Structure formats: structure tokens, C-alpha cells
Amino acid sequence: MDMHTVVVGTSGTTAQDVIAVARGNARVELSAAAVSALAAAREIVDALAAKPEPVYGVSTGFGALASRHISQDLRAQLQRNIVRSHAAGMGPRVEREVVRALMFLRLKTVASGYTGVRPEVAQTMADVLNAGITPVVHEYGSLGCSGDLAPLSHCALTLMGEGDAEGPDGTVRPAGELLAAHGITPVELREKEGLALLNGTDGMLGMLVMALADLKSLYTSADITAALSLEALLGTDKVLAPELHAIRPHPGQGVSADNMLRVLAGSGLTGHFQEDEAPRVQDAYSVRCAPQVNGAGRDTLDYAAVVAARELASSVDNPVVLPDGRVESNGNFHGAPVAYVLDFLAIVAADLGSITERRTDRLLDKNRSHGLPPFLADDAGVDSGLMIAQYTQAALVSEMKRLAVPASADSIPSSAMQEDHVSMGWSAARKLRTAVDNLARIVAVELYAATRAIELRAAGGLTPAPASQAAIEALRAAGVEGPGPDRFLSPDLAAADAFVRAGKLVAAVEPVTGPLA
């Protein structure tokens, strides 16, 4: 199979496939089994639609209006209307990768055969993705219950040839024009189909999957920068010994300690903590406890990944079409499982940012840095060095703490109290994306400070670890300057941020350390 093609079957999808479609523009195809399952479920819906008895989502209104029976001549209008009325989002546009993940994950549920959507509707969803057409979706409109309603509605509106969408060239145009330009016929929705396109946790799940991928990379980078700071502060690597972490066997803690130990192998800077002008019996918590904090975050990522995998294997819709012919209402669209871990990840990201900033501040403080110049300045007093880089890092950490306040602890009743408890999972996902962005910047500032500090130590005759030297050389090759008189710092910090986000820090040290977890 072409590595750039993702085949959607009846049994869910993987995180790797979500990222391939959302970020890598992978082509999407429906499996033969999915097409058969779609057709079989549709036969059940058509049979129920022909009966006089009301069936929710097929021949009734929705939500608090479910008590009204809808006659056959109004059902197509009913499905169009639910999409149009629910496409009520407001605020800034959501990122392209989020919308692509949202559409792909909705297609995943549709293809399961539990929704009653016709095969041609599912094929149109795939065609829109493959054409690079991205519906305009807005920041606000989902309460994380009854699905990510407004975001998914804006996507369904595009399938109908209505509303606005972005073409593959990045230009926003009327969706009907974009479909026509790519030879895609707008869908005419039938019974249940409008509802089925809206009723899922797809937006929050897509953002969870991408956040997990980004955080996994950032945690490895954070292990490296923690090791660099320990080295720059002349700390001891004895606290990283495997036998110490074996007696408190949290898996992530052991992984982080091992990563740090491998980065520090061969260092001539570690172990001087009792020999300098401010001798210590032991290092400060932000240095000594880095494996415990980083490791606890890693374990949280693992738990969140389990929840994501379960949701990726799920068919989230209401009502669902069961193989025995029943169409049953349910509460599987409730976003609580996803919302909780999104909030949990924001908490651990904030704590990682916090401990990272504390090490940076220690590097810059002449009273705690064990011989380094104030603010790592070239001529302190004339030069301010990295003083304000730490201010920027501190501002980011402060925002991270605000973003760690759980969204899922809130609920606002809606739909005339029919939907009287909601998850706020979309909101949890949106703030987590900001937190992940901030964390990358925070790690980049520590990298910038720690590498400068190590170079100042090296100028005094101490030899860094080979992995540290490799990181410094790669960072300098990326255009981030080393010690010297004051200069315009923002471009250096931006380049360090890009270096971390692209995984270049990890790539720089792994030829020396071997693969890091």
C-alpha cells in the first residue's frame, strides 16, 4: 500500500493515521468492508424511515425538539436545517490541521457502519479531504457534548456546497465553488445523515492525538535541557543512577533519568558541586528532581494515549444503528473521557514549564549559579545578558498555570435543559494547544541559557559531555549565537524555538547517546 494513503475501515483508526492525514495530507480511501457496512446500515435506516412509528434522528426533531414527528416530505429539509442552524460558530478560524483531523475522524465513525450514512456521503467526505478543501471552522461553538456540534456542522455545510472553505492554495472561497472546481458533487442529505455528521468527539480527539505527539517530542527535549542545566550548574549526576529509580518504579521517571544520564556521559563539569565557591551537599529540587517531574508527565502521556486509543476505536454517534436492526439512542457522544485527559495534560505541561523556568533562573542568578556571570552577560552592568529572556519564559509559565485550570470541571446547561451536563472538552483541547506552544518556547529558553552557560564553563577550562557539545554545535549551526555582548535576542530565541519544535535537539544528541525515549 502507498505509504501516503490511509485506508479507512470499520474498526477505527490509529494516531499515526490521524497525523498523516491532518499534517501530512495523506490520501484517504474507504475499504471495501466499510462500503459494505455503510450500505447495510443504510438499508436499516431506510426501512425504519418508511414506517409510521417515530425514530429519533430518522423521523423526529433533535435535542429538546425530539418529540415532534417529522413527515416524509420534510425530512430532507430537516437534515439540511440541522446542519445550517448548527453551523453557528464564532471567533477566529481553527487551524487547518485541526479541521482535517476533525473531518477524518468523523469519516472514521461514519465508516464503521453504525451511523446509517449512505456510502456516497462517506465517499464525498474522503473526496473533500483528498482535494485539500478545508472548511472554515470557528473557535467557539462546541460544549463537548452531543458532539463538537458547531465545528462538525461547518464541515458538513461544506459537503452540502454551502458556507466557506479554504482551497489547497490557501484561499477562502464559497464551498460550492471549490467543490465544483474539483469535480465534487454536493451531497443531498437524507434521513439521519445530517445528525450523524455532527454527533462526535472528533475535534477534541484530533487535538488530543496531535498534542500527544508534540508533547512526547517535547518531553525528550526537556530531558536533554534539564541535563544541560545540571551540567552548567556543576551538579551531580549521581542522582540519575538506575538503582535509585528502580526503588521507586514509576516507568517515566526511569526513562527520564536514563535520558539525562546518557546526555551527561563523559562530562567534565558534573560532580563539582562540593568544590566551588558555594559548596552544596545536594542540588536544588529543580535540578535533582527533574526525572521525577518529567517522568510523572511521561506517565500521564501514556495514560492519555490509552484513552485516545480507545476513542480512536470507537463509533461515536447518537442514535446508532446496530447490526440487529435496532436504532438506539445513547450517550456515547459525551466528551468526558477525552476532556479529562486533555485537562490532565495541561496540568503536567504547566508543571514541566514551571520546573524548566526555575532552572533557567538559577543559571542567571550569580548567587546560585556557582561562578557563572550575572545573567550570563558578557560585561554585566553594561550588558543585561539573558535577563529579559527569563522574563519572557516566566510570562509563558504564568500563562501555562492559568491554562492548567480544568475546563472539564465546568458545565453549562443547553438545549432547554435537555443537554444539562456537558464536558467542555473542545475548550480543554483548545487551551492545551496553547499550552503545548508555550511549553516549546519555555524549553527553548532553557536550551538557549544552558548552552551559553556550558560554553562559558568550557572557556574556563572544563570539558562538556560529548552529547552536550553536539547539541551546542547543532544549535549554533542553526543560527543561534553563543556568548558575547548584548544583541537583539528575539531572533535567537525564535530560532531556538524552531530548533526544539523540529526535533533537531534530539536529533543532534542521539548520534552520541543512542536513541532516546
Active-site positions read 56
DSSP state of 309: H
CA distances from 130 to 38, 85, 118, 184 (A): 20, 27, 19, 11
Q: Is 397 exposed, middle or buried (0-12, 13-18, 19+ CB in 10 A)?
A: buried
Joined together, the cell numbers standing for residue 238 give: 549521581
With beta carbons less than 8 A apart as the criterion, state whether 465 and 263 touch.
yes
Q: Is 165 exposed, middle or buried (0-12, 13-18, 19+ CB in 10 A)?
A: buried
Secondary structure class of 380 (helix, strand, coil): strand
429 Cβ neighbours under 8 A, 6+ residues apart? 203, 204, 207, 208, 211, 338, 342
CA distance 357 to 323: 55
Secondary structure class of 165 (helix, strand, coil): strand
CA distance 103 to 156: 9
412 Cβ neighbours under 8 A, 6+ residues apart? 143, 422, 424
